[in-house]
């Protein structure tokens, strides 16, 4: 065995370990970049009658309000959820939601129900959902149909 082969045999494992370490660092930095996705209303949105579905690819959330409790449930576990009520002057009031029973259900008491209690009432909402570094957002109107 010549000296070049011996050096290659000694250096190869070190280069392999360094390659794995650098690849891991690169993957970690890519995972920490903020990714944003828009949630689009699927049909007419009526939170009072529990008919408000927002979609982005295979991810879906349902926004509903019952007896002053605004609830968001989703197809995937959520890390955080915030709903924003936007009045006619574009003044925004945030309401961070708390986990209900599982990471699929988030809720909080809000005044939304009193704003859309009558048929034809409409109100602008925004929602931001965080899942594993990804942020899903939407701005939409809810309008009561019944």
Q: Are residues 124 and 53 in the same domain?
A: yes
* Pair (18, 48) in one structural domain: no
Q: Does 52 lie in the same domain as 27?
A: no
Low-confidence ranges of the chain (pLDDT < 70): 31
What does the pLDDT read at residue 100?
81
For the question of whether the overall pTM of this predicted structure is more than 0.95, the answer is no
What pLDDT is stored for residue 97 in this prediction?
93
Judged by phi (left if over 0) then psi (alpha if -120 to 50, else beta), residue 141 lies in beta
40: domain CATH number? 2.60.40
Q: What residues make up the domain containing 135?
A: 35-143
Asked if residues 44 and 51 have their Cβ atoms less than 8 Å apart, the reply is: yes
User: How many structural domains does the chain have?
Assistant: 2
Do 71 and 7 lie in one domain? The reply is no
């Amino acid at each position: 065995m010549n000296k070049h082969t011996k050096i290659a045999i000694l250096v190869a494992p070190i280069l392999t370990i360094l390659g794995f370490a650098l690849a891991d660092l690169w993957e970690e930095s890519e995972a920490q970049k903020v990714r944003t996705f828009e949630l689009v209303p699927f049909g007419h949105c009526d939170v009072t009658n529990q008919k408000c579905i927002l979609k982005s690819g295979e991810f879906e959330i349902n926004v509903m309000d019952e007896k002053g409790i605004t609830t968001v449930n989703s197809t995937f576990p959520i890390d955080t959820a915030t709903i924003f009520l936007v009045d006619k002057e574009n003044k925004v009031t945030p309401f961070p939601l708390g986990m209900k029973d599982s990471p699929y259900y988030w809720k909080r008491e809000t005044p939304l129900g009193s704003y859309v209690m009558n048929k034809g009432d409409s109100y602008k909402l925004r929602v931001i959902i965080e899942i594993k570094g990804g942020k899903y957002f939407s701005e939409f109107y809810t309008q009561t149909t019944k």
